[in-house]
Amino acid sequence: MRQYLNWKTYLSIMALLIVGASLYYTNQLAGKLADEERKKVQDVANAIKKVIISNNPQETDFAYKIIEQNTTIPLIITDEHNEIISSKNIDSTNSLNPKTAMHDKLSEFKRIHAPIVADYGTGKQYVYYGESYLLTQLRYFPYVQLAIIFLFLIVVLITLSTAHRSLQNQVWVGLSKETAHQLGTPLSSIEAWLELLREENPDSEAAMEMQKDLDRLKLVADRFSKVGSAPQLVEENLVTKLEGIVDYMQRRAPQKVTISLHFTDRDIPVNISGPLFDWVMENLIRNALDAMAGKGTIDITVTNSPQQVWVDVQDNGKGIPGYQVKKVFTPGFTTKKRGWGLGLSLSRRIIEKYHHGSIFVKHSEVGKGTTFRIILRR
């Protein structure tokens, strides 16, 4: 279960526990307050009975005081024939039809509480009552509190996620620039030694191949240096760019691996940063090669539309488990024994931040393969 739990989950559970405890405690208070209000209504019913049957002025005055002291609980008093005799703490003056409004309120009180009967011998009166404003507020308070806590929780999560993402970006940008800086010195040295080798043997095949690898290392260093700054986007033919990448990676792939490029339109102009886009594609192809254990196929399919261009990189490797799909772009996440888990994270940064596109796992199934999709704007 640990793979599904993180600090956000624990924070949400804690918030729910707080709300649950508050809801339970508030309901307990509301129940006690409701009992107290029923006792008050019972006292009012007894006072009404005293007013009707008592001939003692002192008892009658005391009963009237009890009735008048109720300033919070809404009451409706009816006779045996369900005709309304009087009401208290109910304002129906703002209604277009006060009589209808009073009967509607009576129906509401009947649904809420059973009536309290004032039996004075020769007849009966029924006291129907609702809830005081305080009790109503108390019942709704937990739900208001729940909304406030969830709103606060959302704000905290967004703030922490933004801060965490910003910190990660600073770390990866710093790491990329430092890598480019560290590569600079040995590359200059290798280039000098290569020149000496050419002077001794100008037609050396080894020198030619070393020059290709040196150029490639320079390109890698250039890519790292561009991660921390906004690159210049230049219009290029995407198909031509992909053909060069496929040709380069095919020559370095195992013999039993075939890399194929599929497209319908030969000319697809897009604005990209060539070195950085190469990096993304090579990273996806390299991950596919690692997933296929030396044999299989990699299909790169380009789909052209008036607004966007889709580039799908599909392999028939080991696939990605469902619970790991959402983590593949997380910095530091890797399923390999070696590696820092930065490739896909930097690829997402390049595509989304610099090219204003998107990259995601379109489909993956364990044992059958994975498809990554890149979406670029035309």
Q: What are the pLDDT digits (tens) for 354-366?
A: 899 999 999 999 9
- The residue range of the domain holding 370 is 231-377
Q: Where residue 326 sits, what CATH number does that domain have?
A: 3.30.565.10
- Count the Cβ atoms, other than its own, within 10 Å of residue 168: 15
The first and second tokens of residue 56, run together, are 């003692």
Distance between CA 320 and CA 284 in Å, rounded? 14
| pLDDT single digits (tens) 177-202 | 777 777 777 888 888 888 888 888 87
- Give the DSSP H or E segment for 278: helix 274-292
Shared domain for 236 and 114, answered yes or no, is no
Structural domains in the chain (count): 2
| 161, part of any domain | no
Q: Which of 102, 131, 160 is the C-terminal boundary of a domain?
A: 131
| 243, part of any domain | yes
Distance between CA 279 and CA 83 in Å, rounded? 85
| 260, part of any domain | yes
Per-residue confidence (pLDDT) for residue 1, from 0 to 100: 44
Give one word for 153, left, alpha or beta, with left for phi > 0 and alpha for psi -120 to 50: alpha
Cβ contact 206:243 at 8 Å:
no
- pTM equals 0.52
Q: Which of 131, 164, 180 is the C-terminal boundary of a domain?
A: 131
Shared domain for 235 and 371, answered yes or no, is yes
| 203, part of any domain | no
| 72, part of any domain | yes
HSE value, Cβ hemisphere, 13 Å, CA-based, for 236 = 17
- CA-based angle 237:239:243, to the nearest 5? 120
Shared domain for 112 and 239, answered yes or no, is no
Distance between CA 51 and CA 76 in Å, rounded? 17
| 155, part of any domain | no
Shared domain for 125 and 235, answered yes or no, is no
| 337, part of any domain | yes
The first and second tokens of residue 107, run together, are 């129906």
Q: Which of 105, 131, 157 is the C-terminal boundary of a domain?
A: 131
| 143, part of any domain | no
Distance between CA 26 and CA 138 in Å, rounded? 7
pLDDT surpasses 50 at 126: yes
| pLDDT single digits (tens) 256-309 | 999 999 998 999 999 998 888 998 999 999 999 988 888 999 999 999 998 999
